[in-house]
Structure 1
Amino acid sequence: MADIRCICAIGLSGQMGLKGELPWEGDPRPEFRADVERFFDITRGHVLIAGPKTIGAVPDFAAKEMTLRIARSHENPEDVLAEFADRVVFIGGGPPLWDVYAKYIMHWDITRLPYDGPADRWFDPKWLLTGKGRPL
């Protein structure tokens, strides 16, 4: 069985997205740049399953160092995960994907960033309660 993980960042109030982007996208402060670097360091050599927009945003240098897999809404998550048995798999791409894959995630790595502005997507604590095979 694959080792299923999630790595994400949230704002001070759980903000995750704004108009299809990270709400802090382009913020030059060191903690935001460090979070992006940390994401690529931790996922290097592993599998990233995400939606097409997230996969499309992975820079070439990082894409060469990981296995990328686009998740589609019509696919059975167990079939997708079975493609990567005995691998470390990160589920990326935000709330729509985590609503489906949360029950398979064994480890959540969440960074709290100093962002306290607007958002239209939020981290849902229920994802943490459904992991390791517990039903939604």
Structure 2
Amino acid sequence: MPNTAFSVERFVFLPVGVFVARLKGPNRFDVSAANARKLCDRFAEGGLNALISDYCDCTLGHQPHEYRQIADVFAAGMPKGMAFAYVYQPEQAAHIMVMTRILNAAGLKVRGFNDPLEAETWIFAQLGADRSAASAPRALDPPQAEG
């Protein structure tokens, strides 16, 4: 029987401070909103400079009007000018288009990618760093079941 639980794997590239969240399984709006607030709190603590949210193994259970609510959490809680990359499946393009439009308008630097390495390369370039010179990201904790 396939695993239908939602979980998040969390990694960080040091010393540049790139936080990577790999979402897996079905993601509900309430869980997504709570995780957005947690991410904003984590960035407010310092030491993190950019974010990659990887939705490739995630099924979004959000309605279009809920995308804006999640974007508003990030727009209010993330540092202006911060680089933020989404990695997504083609069927998630509408979600990513809404999020990138709102977050770019709010002063973040946001792009969507279909390839995780392209997202990492872009994020590192935004920080003036070279992805090819970086080591593998460090796992922050074991995968966390959410919701």
TM-score (norm 1): 0.39
Q: Which has the higher relative contact order, 1 or 2, with Cα contacts under 8 A spaced 6 or more apart? A: 1
Larger helix proportion of the pair: 2
Structure (1/2) with the larger strand percentage: 2
TM-score (norm. length: structure 2): 0.37
